[in-house]
Amino acid sequence: DAKTTQPNSMESNEEEPVHLPCNHSTISGTDYIHWYRQLPSQGPEYVIHGLTSNVNNRMASLAIAEDRKSSTLILHRATLRDAAVYYCILRDVQYNFNKFYFGSGTKLNVKP
């Protein structure tokens, strides 16, 4: 099963951009890259997903490396509300499409 590697924690200043990296060197051609985040005392919530091309939505941008072995979640202007644990996961649609594998994620601290 393809797995992801993320830094345990990162820190950012409020209103500055944040780049959260994720390595997935064993990704297969059919794996979707999903990002979720978990705010304190809440369930995880969906942020963004992509397959090959970079993606943008109202919450964030997802930059996917050309070889797809890594990706970066970009928060354009961090706010205090963005302090959360961010999970990068792979959705295997070929063999294990019913399973989402969550790692330990990156804990983002946003300083005022």
**Which residues are near other proteins by CB under 8 A?**
30-32, 34, 36, 41-46, 49, 51, 87, 91, 93-94, 97-105
Choice between 13 and 52, CB closer to other proteins: 52
Return the amino acid letter for 61.
S
Token reading at 11: 């820190």
- Cβ of residue 105: shortest distance to other proteins, in angstroms? 7
Choice between 36 and 110, CB closer to other proteins: 36
- Cβ of residue 87: shortest distance to other proteins, in angstroms? 7
Choice between 24 and 34, CB closer to other proteins: 34
- Cβ of residue 81: shortest distance to other proteins, in angstroms? 17
82: phi then psi, degrees, rounded to nearest 5: -80, -5
Choice between 83 and 85, CB closer to other proteins: 85
CB 87 within 8 A of CB 36: yes
